Amino acid sequence: MAGELVMGAARKKGVSVVPVDSEHSAIFQCLVGHRRQDLKQIILTASGGPFLDRPAEDLDKITPEIALCHPTWKMGPKITIDSATLMNKGLEVIEAKWLFDVSLELIEVIIHPESMIHSMVVYRDGSVIAQLGLPDMRVPIAYALSHPERLPLGLPVPNFVETSSFTFQEPDLEKFPCLALALEACEVGMTMPAVLSSANEVAVEAFLKRRIGLRGIGDVVQQVMNKHTPVSEPGLSDILEAAAWARQAAEEAI
């Protein structure tokens, strides 16, 4: 919602912002020890959620109980639904833009169902550096707390011999429009990410209460974004006002 303000405040105070989310921690780790001018691309990996292989028309039949069963991670209900719609990955794109001070064009989302590669960084010489590990949030949390050191967590590492393969695919933006909406909000900037995030929160809550279907989440967010006139160079009050407006507009759309 306020990435520009947060990172601007950090620069003004001369402090670093160390990410905790697994994907951003992976990017952070892949950037350590390398020149930023050599960075060519950031690749954000996504599990694809529980409905990756489901036909788009089946998504109308998804109940909250089904949607809350994530294949890899154990998360709270809101983030689990965001993972099912790929909105979570869209929000991570916005976060990555500000955390790592890159343009949207330098960030790519790739579906990686095995969730072993938590993200990758491409350098201008063609080298690709990835951070791998079993999906366990203790690793990025511990790294954020101990950076630049690493703590002896005693956690298992992947058995690469038994791992049959790593697979990748492009996200289907028609099947998962929430990701496309997040990318649009990131490109527009200003107060649009705040509107996206707030409208999504209301829509997800409505889905969990069975007021709308799963695909209705994207419909609500789209309607609210279409009605919003972004405020340029927003301050915190502008962002909070846009967020409050978006919550009301989302409720009206529902």
What's the burial of 208, exposed, middle or buried (CB within 10 Å: 0-12/13-18/19+)? Answer: middle
Question: Tens digits of per-residue pLDDT, 99-117?
Answer: 999 999 999 999 999 999 9
Strands 39-46 and 107-111 come out as: parallel
Query: How much is the pLDDT for 122?
Result: 98
Query: How much is the pLDDT for 71?
Result: 62
Q: Kindly state the tokens that stand for 198.
A: 């707030």
DSSP string, 116-170: -EEEEEEETTS-EEEEE--S-THHHHHHHHHTTS----------TTT------B-
Regions in the chain scoring below 50 on pLDDT: none
Query: How much is the pLDDT for 73?
Result: 63
Domains of the chain by residue range: 3-247
Query: How much is the pLDDT for 72?
Result: 64
Give the residue from 60, 92, 85, 121 showing the smallest Cα distance to 183: 92
Query: How much is the pLDDT for 67?
Result: 87
Helix, strand, or coil here: 1? coil
Q: Kindly state the tokens that stand for 92.
A: 């991570």
Helix, strand, or coil here: 109? strand
What burial letters (b/e) apply to 103-112, b meaning 16+ CB within 10 Å? eeeebebbbb
Contact status, residue 163 vs residue 116, Cβ threshold 8 Å: yes
Q: Kindly state the tokens that stand for 142.
A: 């511990």
Query: How much is the pLDDT for 53?
Result: 87
Q: What angle do CA 117, 25, 205 make, to 5 degrees?
A: 90
DSSP letter (8 states) at residue 210? T
Question: Tens digits of per-residue pLDDT, 34-51?
Answer: 999 999 999 999 999 888
DSSP string, 25-94: HHHHHHHTTS-GGGEEEEEEEE---TTTTS-GGGGGG--HHHHT--SS----HHHHHHHHHTHHHHHHHH
